[in-house]
Every structure is written in C-alpha cells, then in structure tokens.
Structure 1
C-alpha cells in the first residue's frame, strides 16, 4: 500500500515543481492575480507533497526500542503539519495578494505585450500556454492517483467513492488525490478568470477567481487536517472488531467476550485487546486425557526411589496446570490466526482469559453423567 502512495507522491512532486516555475514566470509576465495565486497554489502543493514523502519515509520505519509498534503515526503528523501549515499559509498569501491587487486595481497597468526570445507575445497567450501545460501535467498526476484510489477502493469492497474518501485508511493517498483534483480545478478557475477579464476588460474577474483559488486552499487545509487528526487520536478499527466478534461467536470453546478494543497505529498496523470467557463443557472435553498424558510424562522423569505422596501430588497439580495452559494457549492462537487471516493489518492481539463460564448442565447434575 505504501509503495502505491509513494509513486503518486513522487509524480506529484516532480510535476508540481515544474508547474510552479511555469506559473511563477507567467504571473511575473502577465501581472495576473489568478496566475499568481495558482503559482502559490502549486508551490504549496509541491512543499506539501515533500512533507508527505518525508512522512512516508519516516513512518515506514519498523518497530524499535523507542517505538514498540513502529513509526507509522509519524506519517499522520507530517501530513497534519503540511495540511494545516502549508495550505493555511497558501490560503493567507493568496487572499493577501488578491486584497492588494484589488487596492491597486487602477494603479498597476498590465503589459500589452511580453518579449519572449525577441518575439512580442500578448500576455493572454502566455497564460493560455502555461495553463494548458499545467492542465495536462496535473491531469496526468490526477489519473495516477485516481487509479491507485480506485484499486484500494475495490480491494476494500467499497462502491461509493465519497464514502471511501471519508473513511479511507491512507490519508497520504487521499491528500494527493484531493490536491490533484483541486489543482485541476484551480487551473480551470484561473483560465476562466483570465478569459473573462480578456473578454470584458474588467480586472475584477481575475481578482475574484484568485480569491476562490485561495479559499480552496483553506478548505483543503481544514479537510486534510480533520482526516489526519482521526488517526492521531487512537481511532478504533470497526472492521477488525466486527471480525473478532464473528470469530468469537463461531468458536465452539468461547462462551462470550468483553471489553473489545482496537487502536489504529497506521493503515497496516492495528492493535486489538479483548477479554474472553471459555465454555467449560467444551474446555473439559478431552482435558482428562491431556492431564493423564502430562502426568505420565512427568512421572517417567522421576526415579522410582524418589516417588512418594508429595511428589505425586506435585506431578498431578503440575499436569493439571500444564494441560490447562496448553489448551488456553491453543484457543488464543486460533483466534489470532483467524483474525490475521481475515484482517492482515492486525499487528498485535492481546486476549485475556477472564474466566471459565459455568456450564448449563449444572442446573441438571444428571446431565453431566449422561
């Protein structure tokens, strides 16, 4: 899963770095407020995706002495910093530039032509070429992210894209997909603002659409911040908990379970804890044979001359304890194996045997002899 996210992030970094330079040069040449805010938008996208890549690298480190369950949550922390920090800054810079552009609306005159390699070119054509290149490149990155998103959605068995966008377990991929979608939308908005200004001669169109572009960055910051905050506040894993409940209900030796809890460390690591009560009539089953086998094995290790009542009592007690522990461990191993088969993201399962439930046959003592 992380490899797919890294691929999408790498594409986004390279493409947005190129687009940032192109939009910046175009903004300097045309004095367009929309183009300037698009340059800020692409710069924030590039820096944000660098943060995402750092988060993926740091979050991919395995468990060590300091981080018992790995470094996975560092990814969400870097994502949160980039979302709230960079996009909020981008939103603020964009709105500030739009404000200054509005105040200087009748002071700054836009050039009627720009010299490029000795050729005089109208600013509108520079904007058209740059925005067209940006649309193609950002559209390509969006397709790469969308394919990975669709692959994950199908693997999760979800058919509603909006639901999976809200509940997906990989905020890095969601961030890239959302940023690329907004980037394509930003290009269309900038083109619309520039075109309307060109047609009407009213610069307020350009400034108005630059405000919308800046506002989109602010909305993106809030949405991505909310997604990553979920994973930094010990969020539960409902899918894993449902799977554990189903396994316990179908297991012949488990009467009931209590205090089932889960914590999502990252999208590939979930920790589960629970308490269970064992079903006495199923647990006892072949227990007598197991105890006798352990007792014989223990007695075989004791020299004949050392056998006495005290030693026999110890051997009998030890055999009971050992047989009970083995049976309990086997049940817990079965639970863990089946849960990890159903949910491979389960990294650690702790099951506490709370008690042995009294059998219903105690209400009818003769049933125990039948």
Structure 2
C-alpha cells in the first residue's frame, strides 16, 4: 500500500518542481496576480509532497525498543504539519499578494511584449504556454494518482467515491490526489482570470481569481488536517470488530464475548482487544483424555517406587492445568488466525478468557454424559 503512495508522491514532486519554476518566471515577467498565486500554490504543493515523502520514509520504520508498534503514526504527523503549516502559509501569502496587487494597480505597468532570445512575445502568450504545460503535467500526475486511488477503492469493495474519500485509510495518497485535483482546478482558474483581464482590460479579474486560488489552499489545509487528525486519535477499526463478532458467533467453543475494542495504529496495523467466555460442554469434551495423557507422561518421568499419593495428586493437578491451557490457547490461536485472514491489517489480538459460561446441559445428565 505504501509503495503505491510513494510512487504517486515522487511523480508529484518532480512535476511540481518544474511547474513551480515556470510559474514564477511567468509571474515575474507578466505581473499577473493569478500567476503569482499559482506559483505559490505549486511551491506549497512541492514542499508538501516532500513532507509526505519524509513521512512515508519515517513511518515505514519497523518496531523497536522505543516504538513498540512501529513508527506508522509519524506518517500522519508529517502529513498534518504539512497540511496545516504549508497550505495555510500558502493561503496567507496568496491573499496578501492579492491585497498588495489590488492596492498597487495604478503603479504596476504590464509590459506590452516580452523579448526572449531576440523574439517578442505577448504576456498573454507567455501565460498561456506556461499554464498549458502546467495543465498537461498536472493532469498526468492526477491520472496516475486517480488510478492508484480507484484501484484501492475497488480492492476495498467500496462503491461510493465521496464516502471513500473521507474514510480512506491512506491519507498520503488522498493528499496527493486532492492536491493534484486542486492544482488542475487552479490552472483553470488562473487561465480564466488572465483571459478575462485581457478581454475586458480590467486587471481586477486577475486579482479576483488569484483570491480564489489562495482560498482553495486554505480549504485544502482544513480538510487534510481533519483527515490526518482522525488517525492521530484513538480511532476504532469497525471492520475488524465486525469480523471478530462474526467469527465468535461461528465458533462452537465460545459462548459470548465482552468489552470488544480496537485501535488503528496506522493504515496497516490494528490492535484488537476482547474478553470471551468459553462454552464448558464443548471445551471439556475431550479434555479428560488429554489430562490422562499428560498425567501418564509426568508419572513416567518418576521411578515406580517414588510414585506416592502426593506425587500422583501433583501429576493430576499439573496435567489438568496443562490440558486446560492447551485447549484455551488453541481457541485463541484459531480466533487470531481467522481474524487476520479476514482483516490483514490486524497485527495483534489480545483475548482475555473471562471464564466458562454456565453449562447449558447440567440439567440433562444423559446428554452431558454422552459428550
């Protein structure tokens, strides 16, 4: 799962670094507020994706003496810092630049032509070429991220795209997908603002659309902050809990369960905790044979002349405990194996055996003896 996210992030970093340079150059020569905010937007995207890559690298480290369940949550922490820090800063810079551009309309002269290698170009053409390049490159990265995201969605059996966007368990891929979608939208907004300013001769259109681009960054910061905060709190894995409930109902040796809880450590690690009561008549069905076998094995280790009544009593008690523990461990191992088979993200199951449920066949001595 993380490998697909890393691939999407690397694509996005390379593309956004190129686009950022082009947009800043275009903004410098055309004095376009929308182009400048698009350049800031791309710069924030590039820095954000570097943070995401760092988060994937740090979060992929295995468990150690300090982090018992691995470093997975560091990914969400880096994502959170990136979303709230970089995008909120980008939003503030964009709004400040739009305000500055509006109050300096009279003093800023837009050049009629731009000379490059002896050739003259209209500022409109410079903006159009840069935005077209940005649209094609951003569109390519968006297609790559969308394919990965839809592949995950189909693998999880989800049907509702909007619901899956909010509930997706990989905020890194979600961040890349959202950023690329907004990047393509930002290019279209910038092109619209620049085009309307050129057609009407009123630069306020350019400034107005630059404000929309800045606000998009602010909305992105809020949304990604909410998504990553969800995984930095004690969120439950409802899928794993439902699977556990179903397995327990189907297990003939378990009567009931209590206090079922779970916590998502990261998108590939879930811890499940529960208490169970075992069904006595099923559990003890063949335990007598186990006790006798263990008792015999213990007594064989003692010479015949030393097999006193106390030794035999000790062997019987120890054999009873050992057989009971083996039966209990077998049930717990079966629970864990079945749960991990249905929910691969579960990497730890803690089951406390609360006791034996009251036998339902004590009032039926014939049925009890038959078992």
Q: Which consecutive segments of 4 or more residues in structure 1 shift more than 6 A?
A: none
Aligned residue in 1 for 2:349 = 349
Rounded Cα–Cα distance in structure 1 between residues aligned with 2:234 and 2:19: 38
Aligned residue in 2 for 1:198 = 198
Root-mean-square deviation (Å): 0.8
Show CA shifts across 1:324-344 (max 9, x none).
000000000000001111111
Aligned residue in 2 for 1:49 = 49
Shift of 1:163: 1.0
**TM-score, length of structure 2 as denominator length:** 0.99
Shift of 1:119: 1.3
Aligned residue in 1 for 2:105 = 105
Shift of 1:115: 1.2
Shift of 1:361: 1.6
Shift of 1:368: 2.7
Given that residues 281 and 368 in structure 2 are in contact (C-alpha distance below 8 angstroms), is that contact kept between their aligned partners in structure 1? no
SS class of match (1:105): coil
- Asked if 1:238 is matched to 2:238, the reply is yes
| Greater mean deviation of Cα atoms: 13-22 or 113-122 | 113-122
Shift of 1:275: 0.6
Rounded Cα–Cα distance in structure 2 between residues aligned with 1:318 and 1:13: 64
| Greater mean deviation of Cα atoms: 295-304 or 28-37 | 295-304
Number of corresponding residues? 370
Rounded Cα–Cα distance in structure 2 between residues aligned with 1:8 and 1:369: 64
Shift of 1:366: 5.1
| Greater mean deviation of Cα atoms: 110-119 or 333-342 | 110-119
- Asked if 1:289 is matched to 2:261, the reply is no
Q: Specify every segment of 5 or more residues in structure 2 that has no aligned partner in the other structure, as ranges.
A: none
SS class of match (2:362): helix
Shift of 1:367: 4.2
SS class of match (1:80): helix
Aligned residue in 2 for 1:250 = 250
Matches within 5 A, 1:4-83: 4-83=4-83
Rounded Cα–Cα distance in structure 2 between residues aligned with 1:369 and 1:293: 20
Matches within 5 A, 1:51-200: 51-200=51-200
Rounded Cα–Cα distance in structure 2 between residues aligned with 1:362 and 1:300: 35
Show CA shifts across 1:269-307 (max 9, x none).
111111100001110110111111111111111111111
Rounded Cα–Cα distance in structure 2 between residues aligned with 1:297 and 1:94: 80
Show CA shifts across 1:172-220 (max 9, x none).
0000000000000000000000000010111111000000000000000
Matches within 5 A, 1:256-295: 256-295=256-295
SS class of match (1:281): helix
**TM-score, length of structure 1 as denominator length:** 0.99
Show CA shifts across 1:307-353 (max 9, x none).
10100000000000000000000000000001111111111111110
Rounded Cα–Cα distance in structure 1 between residues aligned with 2:124 and 2:167: 42
